[in-house]
Structure formats: structure tokens, C-alpha cells
Structure 1
Amino acid sequence: METAVMPPPDRRFAVSLFSRLRTAKGQANPFPIYEELRSGGDVVAAPWGGYLVTGFDLCDRILRSRDWLEPDARWREQQGSGTRWTAPSSREMSRTLPALNPPEHTRVRRSAGMFDRSTLREIGGTVERITTGLLDDLGERLRDGEADFNAVVSEELPIATIGHWLGLPTADFPRLRKLTHDQVFTQELLPSASQLAVSDAATAELRTYFMELVRHRRAHPGEDPVSRWIATWDTLESDRDKADEAVYYLALFVLLAALETTTTLLSTATLLLLEHRRHWDQLVVQPDLVPAAVEESLRYDPPTHVISRVSSRDCVLDGIEIRKDEMVHLMVGAAHRDPAKHKDSDVFDPHRKQAHIAFSGGIHYCLGAPLARLEAQTLLRQLTQRFPRLALVRRPAWAPRVAFRRLLNLDVALT
């Protein structure tokens, strides 16, 4: 990229910022902290090693460039035993689609198929039906006073949608949702040893669950994605055990990708519109504005605030020397508020020309993005029409995370 090399930056700059970011106050509103972080430049040295990238255009270029790779199994093993990267849950994640690099990434992505237009048309009716039922439940609860929208709707819609698509028993939904919340710790920016232990246990249980599912579908194939993946991988892999494991990793990836971030998107979009009443009221009378509101929610406060990449070669990034295999953390939450990209970037404005990297970019652009958009748009259309007088009761609490945002509650009532 650039050729002029600056002296090594001071790694102490970001220490206090990340200390504040990990507090309850920092989680509730990390954006002033991101603004301070951006003041250090587009590339800032991370306290623990590697670098933080805060500029939108630079983040976008890295995501689209083949010179920047996922921290895959090879890279993780190089970090040495006893590190977070060699924890059992991290090693397991390194075999899923988002952590693969070409050519294996290309092979697995092609085998996945996923959410093309015909599949979305097929799922669309299911999403409408599930949403209607969940909002019926919300309405019953609101008649008695306030309700937790996060628990009643946002946590339920993604697991019901993906569970129905995969053909999973509805009785398993609560267990799978809990395991997903526990598993995500291994994908966090700086997980603690206790968090990794929780993630390791959840990952082991998910492996048992989905390997049993794959074996059952092999013995009893149907018209479901898992059965189709088995048929596809039988043509790609002569070893049946390896084929079954490849299908397991696809099913695991789909569950983890479909639940955590989509749940956050549903609650965050609802929260932002309730906090910005003018835009909520606009959707009530102009439901065609819903897609733009979803995109602005993804920009304003995306479900994932950090995406990590490693360099495939020695290079210079914004005047900073980056060595081969060195990691950079793309601070998506900060990049989305980059004033060089968005005018009045701290203003929630669904009418702006949209540009965000909430779904990553390049060859790793999120396969589930069309489904997440479908769920969010369906929910907001029904919600604003059925409950135009919905109001926020109190500010929600947030889980103690940096990379993966998660609301713990969203209490609402009718005015």
C-alpha cells in the first residue's frame, strides 16, 4: 500500500481506551471511545500486539484484498500452546467456513449453496409466519404491562427460522440458543480463561449434537439442507467420515452465524428506531422505508464491532510496517462512524446513502446476509404496523463484550 514508513507507534495509547471499552458504560456506548481511538490515526498499535484499523476506506480495502487472510488453523497453531488460539473451541472454529482461506474456502463455500433467491422465497413465508406468532405473544404480554422484546421476539425469530430450515426439533431450540451464546466467547477479541472454558464446553456439546444429526440424516435423507450437503460432499470426498465432518462444520457454522448476530440486529434496529421516534413514525406510514432503516442500523451500531485479519506478506499499511502473519483488528464500529466516509456520522439517518461493512467484504462476505436482512425487514414491517405506539421503557443492558454486541434485555410497553 503506502511506501513511507513511520516510526513504530506507541502501544500505550490504546490501553486506557480498551479498559474503558470493557466496562458496562463502555459497552452501553462505545462510540465516544472509538472517536478517541480514531484520533490516533487510521492504524493504531494494539496493546497486546498487532494493530487496530479505524478508517472506513482502509478497513474496506483490507476486507476486499487477497493479501489479507483469515487467522486459519495454520496461523492459530503457530501462536503456540497455551494461547487462546489453540483452545479446543478456537481449533474447532478454525475448520468452519469463516476461518478458511483459499483454496479450501472456495471449495467449502461452493458446497454450501445457502441463501439464493429461490431459497429466500421458500423461507420468506416461514419468516412471516414465525414473526406473526411471536408478535401475537408480544401483544399478549403487553396487555399486562411491559415485555422484554429481546427475550420474546429477537432471541426466538433467528433460532426458529434456521431451525425450521435445517429441520431441527423445536424442543432443541432453547438448548441450541444457550450453547450459541456460550460458544461465541472463543470468537471474542480478548476472552478470559474462564470464558474460553465455557466456550470449549459449548463447542464440544455442539459437535456431539450436529455429528449425531449428520449421521441420522445420512441414514434417513430428506429434502433438507443437511441431506443435500451430505450428497454434495459424497461427490467431493471419498472418505465418508471426512465427508460427514465437512457437513458437520457447515451445520455448525450456519447455526452460529444465524443466531448471535441476527438476534442483535433485530433488537438493535428496534431500539434505535424507538430512540429516534421520528423515524419510527415514518415507518408506520411508509413501510417501504424499512430496508433503509435496517441498513442504517447495521451502520450505526453493527452486531459485530471487530473483524480480524492477518497479513500474507510484509507490507506497509498507512505508513506502518506490518510483518507477514501479523494480525490487524478492523474496528468496524469505529470505521462506521468515520467522518471521512459519512457526513454527520453520529446521526442515525436512514435516508443517508448507505455504506457499511457489517457483513464483512470480499470473498468472506457473509453468506447469511440475505437471511438476516429478510428477518429484520419482515420484523420491522410487522412490528411498526401492529404496534405503532410501542415505546422503550428503560435503557437496555449489554453483555460484557467488545467484538460481538449483545443486548441482555429490551423492555417495551404501549403508550
Structure 2
Amino acid sequence: MGDVVPAPWGAYFVTGFDACSQVLRGRDWLAPDFAWQERQAHTERWEAPATREMTKTLSRLNAPEHTCQRRSLGNLFDRSTIQRLTPHVERDVSRLLAELAGELRGGSADFAEIVSEQLPISTVGSWLGIPPEDYPGILEITHNQVYAQELLPTKSQLGVSADATVLLRTYFTDLIRQRRAAPGNDVLSGWIRTWDSLEPDREAADETLYRLTMFVTIASLETTATLLSAVVWQLLREPGRWSWLRERPEHIEAAIEEALRYDPPIHINTRVAATDTELAGVPIAKDTMVHVMYGAANHDPRRNADPHSFDILRAGNHLTFGGGAHYCLGAALARLETRTMLTQLLRRFPTLRALSPPEHAARMVFRRVTSLRVTI
């Protein structure tokens, strides 16, 4: 249908790899921030509490505010941070796979529930100093909150998101207050010190800290969990693929990149035109929404030949982590968790099999895997 396809609501779907890359990296394309929302004729969607709350986070900010907040975080997961986190991730994976083994002794187990859902919250939770007993609650809130980030959320979905947003604010505001009272050497205490030096207004600093901590936490959960399930499913769905990679562990990272290309955890992202412009030969007026279709871009045959086949040795390209100023903060962490999980899983379960394809939540943007039944 083309690189740029009209949507019924006056926006455009962007499908081609190069066109999507141009939107993600170009300065002519902005996140739909408050300034843009206030210029819209139909404001009901943008006035929803959960939508307004997410508009305050990094994913919906533009320069200069986005630049300031991003710089305050530094390179969140640089090489030294990944090295420090590696033994913690390895221990978490070992623990979760032991639980998986126990369930498999009964015949079958839900890989998504036991491993994929739990590893990201364990990793980010320990990194931020979140008590483990709070993990289940944070997961439930996150699953409910992301409806506000759907392409066309219903009124009832926005209501569910609104309730979850209140709980997120309460939890992370309390977490920051507690950490202020008893600071340590953890990353959140470091952010508090950074923002106290940047912002003399303590209340304003705490508001920014809440948004950063909340966003980094929830952005790390469903996306990585879905990647973990997706890579396992792609390796199990074809006979011989699991054993092939088990015998060739040097290709584990290539398998992860192909899973990221083949079935990205997020399928759609939205930008707006900063000015009257043109995209792939199509005139786009200022303030018009364009929806970047990650899955379509990754399957563009002009960039990845035979795109609908899962080829571990492809060495292809993907846009799954975005691009430009909004490139995914947690890309290195997601790769660490997936690599560690897959390395141990291949070694420990040589005869692992999928009983059925994964089940997904009924969504268009966040491709949450709700279940993946496996056996040995």
C-alpha cells in the first residue's frame, strides 16, 4: 500500500524502513507533547488522566525538557553498569529456571508467567532498591496502565489506566520520600542528589524524580518480558532450531537480534510533524500524526530479504529500539537479560518444547505475551 498510508482519523501509517527511520531520527518529527495536544480540536482522549500523566514522561517530551531529563540520567546502562548487573541477572535467571524445572516435573509450565514476567521486574527492582514484596503489585499496575498508550483506547480502557496511574503515583512518590529519608549508594539516591543540584525547588525536583523512576520501571517490564517469550517461541516453533542453537551458542546474540526484528515487543509509535513537510513523497501538514509501524519496517524486503522467515544468521537491521533522541534507554539491559536467560535455558533444558503458540493481550501497541505453555 506504500511507505506512507492514510489512516481513517486523519493520521498516516508509516510502513517502510527508511521512512520510519527518517521519522524516528529527524528533527522535523516530535513526540505528541502537551503543546501539540492543546492545539487539537478533539481533546477528550488527551484530557484523560492516564494520558496526561504519560505525557509528562520522557517518551512524550521534546527538547529542551527531554534533553535536560535524559542528560540527568546519564548513560543508564553503560558497560560498567551492565557488568555490575550481570551477576545479579545470572542469579535471578538461575532461580527462575529452578522454579520452571519444578513446574515442568508436573508435565508443563507457563514460561511467560514463571520466567518472562518475573525476570525484568527482579532486575529493575533490585537495581532501584524496590522491595521484592512489591513486585506483584507493580506488575499488575503496569499491565493496566499501558492501555493509555494504545493507538485507539476505549473509554473503559482509559478508566482502567486512570486507576492504575493513581496507584503508580502513590507508590513511586512514597518510594522517593523513603529514599530521601534514608539515602544510600543506589541509583535512585544518585538521581535525587543530581536533581537537588539541578532544581532548587524540592517539590519540583521530586515531581521530576517520580516521573523518571516510574517511567524507567514500567518501560522495562512488558517490553522485555515479551521479548523473552518471543525469542523462546521462535526457537521452539521450528523442529531442530532449538538444538541447532544449543550446539552453537556463539549465535545466541544473533538469535536475539532476529527476534527483535521479527516480532518487536512494541509495534506502533506515534510522532507529529513539527512543520509542513514531505515523507516518502507524501505531503504531511504540520501537527499531523504519523504512526511508525515497527513490525512493518522490520519486514521491509528492501532492507531485509525474505523478511517473513526467521533466520538466525540473517545479520539484518531493525528499528525495534527506536532511534534518535528517543532511542530506548534500556536496550543494553534488555539484551543482557535475554542473553543470560537464553544461555542458561538452552543449557538446562535441551528437550524444551512449546505446547502451543503464545497468547497475547488484545492490544495493538504493546505486544504483551500473557502465556506460553512449554514442556520437556
Q: TM-score, normalised by structure 2?
A: 0.98
Deviations 1:9-34 (A, max 9, x none): xxxxxxxxxxxxxxxxxxxxxxxxxx
Q: Which runs of 5+ in 1 are unaligned?
A: 1-39
**Which deviates the most, 312-321 or 63-72?**
312-321
1:376 to 329, 335, 338: 338
Compared with structure 1, are the counterparts of its residues 197 and 100 closer, same or farther at alpha carbon in structure 2 (3 Å cutoff)? same
How far apart are 1:403 and its partner, in Å?
A: 1.1
2:55 is matched with which residue?
94
Match of 2:3 in 1: 42
Q: What residue in structure 1 maps to residue 45 of structure 2?
A: 84
Give the one of 50, 63, 84 matched to 2:24: 63
How many Å apart are 1:278 and its aligned residue?
3.1
User: Deviation of residue 82 (structure 1)?
Assistant: 4.7
In 2: Cα distance, 1:132 partner to 1:404 partner:
27
Match of 1:242 in 2: 204
On the 8 A contact 1:80/1:86 being kept in 2, the answer is no
CA contact (8 A) 2:100 2:109 kept: yes
Give me the whole-angstrom Cα distance separating, in 2, the residues matched to 1:80 and 1:253: 28
Residue 286 of structure 2 is aligned to residue 317 of structure 1: no
Q: Give the superposition deviation at 1:307.
A: 1.1
Question: Runs ≥4 in structure 1, deviation > 6 angstroms?
Answer: none
Corresponding residue SS for 2:270 = strand
Cα distance between partner residues in 1 of 2:180 and 2:293: 42
Listed as ranges, the gaps of 5+ residues in structure 2 are none
Partner of 2:269, secondary structure, is strand
**Counterpart check, 1:233 vs 2:176:** no
Is the Cα contact below 8 Å between 1:93 and 1:99 reproduced in 2? yes
Per-residue deviation, 1:81: 6.5
* Structure 1 Cα separation of the partners of residues 15 and 42 of structure 2: 30
Q: 1:131-142 to 2 correspondence within 5 Å?
A: 131-142=93-104
Give a deviation string over 1:105-138, Cα, whole Å, max 9, x none. Answer: 1110011121111111111111000000000010
Match of 2:291 in 1: 329
Distance in 1 (alpha carbons) for counterparts of 2:318 and 2:174: 38
- 5 Å-filtered alignment, 1:145-294, equals 145-294=107-256
SS of residue matched to 2:360: coil
The worse-fitting range, judged by mean Cα deviation, of 292-301 and 115-124 is 115-124
* Structure 2 Cα separation of the partners of residues 316 and 70 of structure 1: 17
Q: CA deviation at 1:77?
A: 2.8
> Retained in 2: the 8 A contact 1:79–1:86?
no
Is the 1:77–1:86 Cα contact (8 Å) retained in structure 2? no
**1:24 matched residue in structure 2:** none
Distance 2:118 2:180 in 1: 28
Q: In the alignment, is the contact (CA less than 8 A) between 2:37 and 2:43 conserved in 1?
A: no
After alignment, is 263-272 or 311-320 more displaced?
Answer: 311-320
The answer (yes or no) to whether the contact 2:266–2:320 under 8 Å persists in 1 is yes
| CA–CA distance in structure 2, aligned partners of residues 103 and 263 of structure 1 | 32
Query: Measured at CA, do residues 260 and 116 of structure 1 come closer, stay the same or move farther in structure 2, by a change above 3 Å?
Result: same
SS at match of 1:408: strand
Q: After the TM superposition, which of the residue ranges 75-84 and 356-365 deviates more from structure 2?
A: 75-84
Tell me if the contact between 1:95 and 1:249 (Cα under 8 Å) persists in the aligned partners: yes
CA-atom RMSD, angstroms? 1.0
Other structure's SS at 1:277 match: coil
Percent pairwise identity: 53
Query: d(CA) in 2 for partners of 1:149 and 1:293?
Result: 18
Report how many aligned residue pairs link the two structures: 375
Instruction: State how far apart, in whole Å, the 2-side matches of 1:383 and 1:64 are.
Output: 36
State the distance in 1 between where 2:187 and 2:38 align.
Answer: 32
Alpha-carbon displacement from aligned partner over 1:51-110 (angstroms, at most 9, x marks no partner)? 001101110111111111111121123335652222111111111111111111111001
How do 1:21-40 residues align onto structure 2 when only pairs under 5 Å count? 40=1
Q: Following the alignment from structure 1 to structure 2, what is the Cα–Cα distance between the partners of residues 181 and 364?
A: 22
Q: CA contact under 8 A between 2:254 and 2:315: conserved in structure 1? A: no
Q: Does 1:359 align with 2:321?
A: yes
